[in-house]
Amino acid sequence: MEETVVAMEEMGVDVVAAERESQTIEMSAKGVSVWFGKRKILENVNMDFPKKTVTALIGPSGCGKSTFIRTLNRLHELIPGAALAGEILYEGQDIYRQDVDPVHIRLAIGMVFQKPNPFPSMTIRGNVLSGLKLSGMKRPDHDALVEQTLTSAGLWKEVKDRLNAPAGDLSGGQQQRLVIARALAVNPHVLLMDEPCSALDPASTLRIEETIRELSKDITIIIVTHNMQQAVRVSDYTAFFLAEENQPGYVVEQGLTTEIFGNPRDQRTLDYVNGRFG
Amino acid sequence: MSIETPMRDLGKGKKANAGDRIFNRTITGAAFTSLIILAGITVFLGAKAGPVLQEQGLSFLTETMWDPLGVPPEFGIAGMLYGSLLLAVIALVISVPVSLFLAVFMVFMAPPKVSKILTNLVDLMAAIPSVIIGLWAFYVLVPPAQEWQQLLNQYLGWIPLFQNESGNFTGTPFIGGVVLAIMMVPIVTSITAEVLKRTPPELVNAAESLGCSMFTMLRYVALPFGRGGIVGGVMLGLGRALGETIAVFFVLKLVFDINFYKIIESGGGSIATLIVSKFGETNGEYEVNVLLASGFFLFLMTLVVNAIANLIVARTDRLKS
């Protein structure tokens, strides 16, 4: 797996910088277990997300990665029957404390979903600003905000002349970048991405990956992906999830992406990252 | 020089099996039956309405009188036409918000069990015969409704809408509208709930991840998405309100003069109720034809309402796609 590290360096991933940043922890999960009704989905997940880094969550389908990511911004609790044990710390505070407003958490910790989901009844501009309307958040100078977030999402040049066109006119890849701009417009510190490229073609995927690298200079990103190469290309840290049949998922191994892919300690990790199962 | 290959005959001459043929014909026949019935009704009503309109002239639609024994007999149904519309508007104003709230509660807020029970109750409510609702309204609703109207008059009487000079609060358009609203609510609620249930979960997810409240999610995501369907549901309810006969017959005092806006003043009009209340006591065939002509215009009115509804739905759908 020597090539992997080399590949990362070629992609411009600064491994040393990533390690240096790891001094400050933005978010962490402490002993997190998750249930839907009586079914246990996740078992005792402990994980730290250092500030301004990208963490990839990998593992076969049904091992609880998506469920885990949804506990990080309290979307999990909106599903009937959902339950949780343990703590999710954001800036050192448990986000599930009684006096915490979930709306504040969801604004600070944005999310991008698997399928591009712009609001079809709104324009491109309307979609970017929709978070302000939906949450009642006030931010000055909407024009500048639209330009800045669309630029960050790598979409500004393509849409700047048709901001009032319906969002449905855009291609799938453009829609996904629009959705990223929408998430950025409420100024989050963390961005959760649940397989953001799984519905996109390779060229669009590449654009999104560039966007992720660019965004990670300012915010912390946690991304679920089934694409091993993508995890190598975009992430500083990787966590490998696994679930035996009808058992809750757990974290087999986590650490620097270079370690997980280059020198895994667990045989199952080695097998998975080399495509021998899953 | 190009070489042309002959075009193939696709599917023609292929024999469908006998079962399929019989099935196709049955279905096609059934589809045409509805058209034939609709055309039959239109022709019948039109044929009866034509001579009446010729004899009475345009005043049939603009005057307010009912003089079957005069020489010549004179008729004008302006009060009835207007009354039907007024009742429908009152019913609309009351039933749409109630239905919307009920549907939102059922789909987005109530626990699944409660939602299921409510859905069944609403469907059950739609199945109550209108004559039962009329009787119930006559005995149970009207007495307290008189007090509500007195209160409205006492505190909001400065609004022309709530003026009442006679001191008689029975048989008002308001009560008629309330009864119609009760009949519209199950229809509008059940269609609205069906539409709201189809809000794509990924859009709801997106709104939730952007820190929405229930209200902002409804306003910016669910309602814009379901607009066309909800308008359609309201129009279906409105169709019922315009054409409803018996329930209104029990609670509305029919007067031929136009009651323009005093909705808590005794007396109003309704074409459907006019027909049912006059039909048993007509003076000769001509008056029957006059009633049929009134029916023709009720039919036209509902047709126009439906056309407008279709236009609205088509327009909102186009905006969406």
From A155-159, B23-27, B257-261, B291-295, the region with the lowest mean pLDDT: B257-261
CA dihedral A17→A21→A26→A28, nearest 10 degrees, is 80
Check residue B119 and give its pLDDT.
94
Check residue B215 and give its pLDDT.
94
From A145-149, A173-177, B44-48, B262-266, the region with the lowest mean pLDDT: B262-266
A117 has a pLDDT exceeding 70 = yes
The answer to whether the CB atoms of B112 and A80 lie below 8 A apart is yes
- Residue A190, chain B, CB below 8 Å: the answer is no
* B222 Cα to chain A: minimum distance (Å): 10
From B211, B225, B319, residue closest to A134, measured CB to CB: B211
Q: What would the mean pLDDT of B89-105 be, rounded to a whole number? A: 95
CATH topology of domain B78-320: MetI-like fold (1.10.3720)
Percent of chain B clearing pLDDT 90 (strictly above): 48
Check residue A245 and give its pLDDT.
86
Q: pLDDT-derived band of residue A22, with 50, 70 and 90 as boundaries?
A: very low
Task: Decide the pairing of beta strands A54-58 and A237-242.
Answer: parallel
Check residue B320 and give its pLDDT.
52
- Residue B207, chain A, CB below 8 Å: the answer is yes
A17 has a pLDDT exceeding 80 = no
Q: What would the mean pLDDT of A48-53 be, rounded to a whole number? A: 94
Q: pLDDT-derived band of residue B15, with 50, 70 and 90 as boundaries?
A: low
B317 has a pLDDT exceeding 80 = no
pLDDT tens track for A77-115 = 888 889 999 999 999 899 999 999 999 999 999 999 999
Helix axes B285-320, B223-243, angle to 10 degrees: 180
- Nearest chain B residue to A183 by CA: give it: B210
Check residue B321 and give its pLDDT.
46
Distances A219 to A55, A126, A187, B28, B254 between C-alpha atoms, Å: 12, 24, 10, 63, 71
From A55-69, A121-135, B273-287, the region with the lowest mean pLDDT: B273-287
Q: Cα–Cα distance between A197 and A213 in angstroms, integer?
A: 14
Indicate the helix (H) or strand (E) that contains A119. Answer: none
Check residue B240 and give its pLDDT.
83
Asked whether A237 and A256 are in contact (CB, 8 A), the reply is yes
Check residue A12 and give its pLDDT.
52
From A213-222, B7-16, B83-92, the region with the lowest mean pLDDT: B7-16
Check residue B315 and give its pLDDT.
73
Q: What would the mean pLDDT of A47-59 be, rounded to a whole number? A: 95
The answer to whether the CB atoms of A106 and B205 lie below 8 A apart is no
Check residue B13 and give its pLDDT.
59
A15 has a pLDDT exceeding 70 = no
Percent of chain B clearing pLDDT 70 (strictly above): 96
Alpha helices in chain B (DSSP H): 18-56, 59-62, 78-104, 112-126, 130-136, 142-156, 173-197, 201-209, 214-217, 223-243, 246-251, 271-279, 285-320
- Residue B223, chain A, CB below 8 Å: the answer is no
Q: Cα–Cα distance between B108 and B201 in angstroms, integer?
A: 12
Q: Cα–Cα distance between A43 and A249 in angstroms, integer?
A: 6
- Residue A156, chain B, CB below 8 Å: the answer is no
The answer to whether the CB atoms of A111 and B221 lie below 8 A apart is no
The answer to whether the CB atoms of B211 and A131 lie below 8 A apart is yes
- Looking at per-residue pLDDT, the higher value among B318 and A175 belongs to A175
- DSSP state letters, A178-189: HHHHHHHTT--S
Q: What would the mean pLDDT of A161-189 be, rounded to a whole number? A: 94
ipTM of this complex prediction, to 2 decimal places: 0.84
Check residue B229 and give its pLDDT.
87
Give the sign of the dihedral formed by CA A75, CA A81, CA A87, CA A93: positive
Let me know the angle formed at the C-alpha of B238 by B235 and B239, rounded to the nearest 5 degrees. 90
B1 has a pLDDT exceeding 70 = no
If contacts are CB pairs under 8 Å, which of residues 232-271 in chain B contact chain A? none
Give the other-Cβ count within 10 Å of A192's Cβ.
27
A135 has a pLDDT exceeding 90 = yes
Q: pLDDT-derived band of residue B228, with 50, 70 and 90 as boundaries?
A: confident
Mean pLDDT of chain A: 90
**Structure token digits, residue A32:** 């997190």
Q: What would the mean pLDDT of B262-274 be, rounded to a whole number? A: 87
Task: Decide the pairing of beta strands A82-90 and A93-94.
Answer: antiparallel
pLDDT tens track for B195-220 = 999 999 999 999 999 999 999 999 99
Distances A263 to A1, A19, A104, A253, A257 between C-alpha atoms, Å: 7, 17, 39, 11, 10
Per-range mean pLDDT, top range of A179-188, B156-165, B309-318: A179-188
- Looking at per-residue pLDDT, the higher value among B39 and B244 belongs to B39
Mean pLDDT of chain B: 88
The answer to whether the CB atoms of A107 and B210 lie below 8 A apart is yes
In DSSP terms, which residues pair with A85 in a beta bridge? A33
pLDDT tens track for A202-233 = 998 999 999 999 999 999 999 999 999 999 99
A4 has a pLDDT exceeding 80 = no
Check residue A156 and give its pLDDT.
95
Nearest by Cα to A181 from A214, A222, A140: A214
* A1 Cα to chain B: minimum distance (Å): 37
B163 has a pLDDT exceeding 50 = yes
Cβ-proximal residues to B60 (8 Å cutoff; 6+ apart), any chain: B52, B53, B75, B76, B77, B293
Work out the burial of residue A275: count CB atoms within 10 Å of its CB; fewer than 13 is exposed, 13-18 middle, 19 or more buried: exposed
Give the sign of the dihedral formed by CA A162, CA A164, CA A169, CA A170: positive
- Residue B201, chain A, CB below 8 Å: the answer is no
CATH class of A2-273: alpha beta
B72 cis-preceded (ω within 30 degrees of 0): yes
Q: pLDDT-derived band of residue A1, with 50, 70 and 90 as boundaries?
A: very low
- Looking at per-residue pLDDT, the higher value among A39 and B260 belongs to A39
Q: pLDDT-derived band of residue A23, with 50, 70 and 90 as boundaries?
A: low
Domain ranges, ordered by start, for chain A: 2-273
